[in-house]
């Protein structure tokens, strides 16, 4: 009888690699996105609650910390979206070659940063216009 059953990898003994970092980031962003969904629902509640509720809701974002969280949420969404597509390719059995893994990983990093930058470029220029 085999007593020593295989354990999941002990992360401490592995050298950090791009692939493993991106993988854990997928989980991290997934959890962070999920934690952000109540804020999204609060926004809808504020919209349903009338002009005053809406202004109060907007006022909560007038500080750098809240803005940083929203910025992080945007990046998390784009990262998770791009890497999620990578996951879906794996689910149908494609893209597992080492070289492809690295290329797609780098593409995900680049595209998610670009998408975040474009989004905030437009958001900030609109905010500037409104102020």
Return the one option of ligand HEM, another protein, none that residue 86 interacts with (CB less than 5 to 8 A, by type). Answer: none
- CA pseudo-torsion sign 96, 100, 101, 104: negative
Alpha helices in the chain (DSSP H): 18-49, 51-59, 64-91, 98-130
CA distance 8 to 104: 25
Q: Which is nearer to another protein, 9 or 98 (CB)?
A: 9
If binding is defined by CB under 8 A, does position 111 make contact with another protein? Answer: no
Q: Which stretch binds another protein (CB under 8 A): 12-20, 78-86, 95-103, 105-113?
A: 78-86
Q: Which part of the chain contacts ligand HEM (CB under 6 A), choosing from 2-10, 14-22, 54-62, 83-91? A: 83-91
Other Cβ atoms within 10 Å of 2 Cβ, number: 5
Alpha-carbon distance of 39 to 89, in angstroms, equals: 31
Is 46 within 8 Å of 54 (Cβ atoms)?
Answer: yes
Nearer to ligand HEM, 27 or 94 (CB): 27
Chain positions contacting another protein, by CB under 8 A: 27, 30-31, 33-34, 37-38, 40-41, 44-45, 47-48, 50-51, 54-55, 58, 74, 77, 81, 84-85, 87-88, 91, 119, 122-123, 126-127, 130-131
């Amino acid at each position: 009888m085999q007593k020593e059953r295989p354990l999941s990898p002990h992360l401490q003994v592995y050298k950090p690699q791009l692939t493993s970092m991106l993988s854990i980031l997928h989980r991290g962003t997934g959890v962070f996105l999920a934690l952000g969904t109540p804020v999204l629902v609060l926004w809808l509640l504020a919209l349903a609650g009338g002009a005053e509720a809406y202004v109060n809701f907007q006022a909560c974002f007038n500080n750098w910390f809240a803005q940083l969280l929203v910025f992080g949420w945007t990046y998390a969404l784009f990262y998770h979206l791009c890497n999620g597509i990578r996951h879906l390719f794996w689910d149908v059995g494609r893209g597992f070659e080492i070289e492809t893994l690295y290329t797609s990983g780098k593409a995900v990093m680049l595209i998610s940063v670009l998408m975040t930058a474009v989004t905030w470029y437009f958001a900030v220029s609109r905010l500037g216009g409104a102020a």
